[in-house]
Structure 1
Amino acid sequence: MSRPPICVPCRLAAIAAVIGGTAGLFAWTAGWLTPTRLDAPHIVNTFETNYGVHTGYRRNHAKGLCVEGEFDSNGNGASVSRAAVFAPGATPVIGRLAIPGSNPSAPDASIPVRSMALLFQLKDGEQWRTGMNSAPVFVVRTPKQFYQQLVASKPDPTTGKPDPAKLNAFFSANPETLPFRQWLKAHPPSSSFANTPFWGINAFIATNAEGKMQAVRWEMVPETPFEAESADQKHNPDFLADDLDTRLAQGPLRWHLVLAVAAPGDATSDATQQWPDSRQQIDAGTLVLRQATPQRAGACRDVNYDPTILPDGLKPSDDPLLAARSAAYSVSFNRRTREQAALAHEHGEAQ
């Protein structure tokens, strides 16, 4: 059977959508984009110009739902980190499952990447917040590259899609984007949040009780076997939420938190590159999700999943994207919460 012709503009548009969504708020600068000095509000403004503003919603990963459950630690993670979350026992979790992009009404099938964000509420009052994607690598290495791709990905007003020539020029000038593009081409979108693995992408520095410091990355590995998105699901714009509700009605969903430990010489500042599979892997416990609620009324609505909010025993690495994410998430959080407050005030006055 012959294969249908490949639509190169369509593929580029899909890549641009993923890049715009997953990278959309990762670009804060503190002189990096010289000679033009840009800050987080300016970058978020540019993102809004490209992809629009949906009042009261996150500027990225706008479409999602809240989930709640707990993390059951088996104690294995304590070998690399003294963080209380890795001590044996259960830690409450408030999470969010979403797709990238700024449109809260986007069809689920329009974006091949899924995301998981988690807030671990530790017993001593500390928190661990993490944002993960279903791709094991990020598309760019630096905020400067992000800004360049944001410019290249700007939709053409006449077509509503990025200019393929500009995207190709950006990719050619930035070979670091190749691992992400290769992964996107080789991996079909998942049929469910429940069967999706999620990677933290960035490296962090873990310190154990003896003071030993090691670089780590983490992944949430689902117990549910992977299945690709089906043709029928593509006709349902909200199939991910519908599927999750069906599965949770039958019982909790589980993922294993696996810590990958770097070897000497492994890069900690480049999120476009995976570490070898041969690196030490530690199954630190099980994430158990028990319920989901619409984000408008859910516990995750007002959470800023800043990945630099970490408990004692974990700290950011030298990856420049971490500071970028933190600053831009703050801008997005402040804008949407102000909008939500204004909408609530208007609703109150109308009553």
Structure 2
Amino acid sequence: MATSALPELTGDVVALTAAVCDIPSVSEDEARLADAIEAALTPLTHLEVLRDGDAVVARTSLGRDRRVVIAGHIDTVPIVSNVPTWREHALDGTEELWGRGTVDMKGGVAVALHLAAVLTEPRWDVTWVFYDHEEVASEANGLGRLVRNHPDWLAGDLAILGEPTAGGIEGGCNGTLRAEVSTAGRTAHSARAWRGVNAIHAAGEILQRLNTYTPRDVDVDGLVYREGMNAVGITGGIASNMIPDRCVVTVNYRFAPSLTPEDAVAHVRQLFDGFDVEVTDLAGGARPGLDDPLVQGFVTAVTGVTGGRPGPKYGWTDVARFAELGVPAVNFGPGDPMLAHADDEHCPVEQIRTCAQALHAWLA
């Protein structure tokens, strides 16, 4: 049975992760977990706790000369018989925590909650952000709402987003564009097809351009971002005995953060010149910002614990929202991003502990 209370935040971070996962918080239903987070943080006298909807913010005010923002979303995609969590051992003996949210991204949330309680006097002031509605339409995003309603709550010199990175650092993120590329035809009875123009057949040229398109690898501040241009949907047809007069191919362009959103739109329109192109969703990327001294210090501290080197974030994440505020931001959290949203979502427990250890080493 899921509980609405969290265990002692200063205890075992893996047990805390399991408890956070065991409070269901599918997008649009985050209130119970937000209440539990607020209730767990409010007694901590070194923190000021604020709330906007189902987003909870806790921050220190120690007069430090720098401020770090550490953020994570508390919602998940729908549950499929994978809550409550359970533990298993992999073939190599590694202990893993299984269940919805263990990867995306309640491991990162639990690490932040644990450190928010443990670090009563961090070396910099810290703002801990736990927000809602990340897994749904961008306009509902809780971090975006905080940007609009309380931008001062998000002020800082560096932001770290606890998205799953398998315990490595992933700088910045690609931008994303979704467009509907459509063809026009003329209806007719399919028995007299010569009287019409088949819009679905005309869409073959759109698919051919996609099939021969070569996505770029783009070096941005020392990290190589892979772009992608793909059809992700196609619709058309009126009835089984009619020639269709319209066909729409939905295209998703993942573009390097060196491009502005306007650049991305121009590129898509050029690729599909001669067709009607309607952009339906657009979000710019974020440069990695690895040349910032505070980011460099974070990289040095984390890699000293976890090993490895920073890499690029191929998907879009909310680091882009911080970039819009002029705050350098990186992704860092437990969990293999390839397992995000998967029914078999699971995370090595040692990875959760290592991420907590690395962040603690940098902040303490």
Higher percent of residues as strand = 2
TM norm structure 2: 0.22
**Rg: which structure is higher?**
2
TM norm structure 1: 0.23
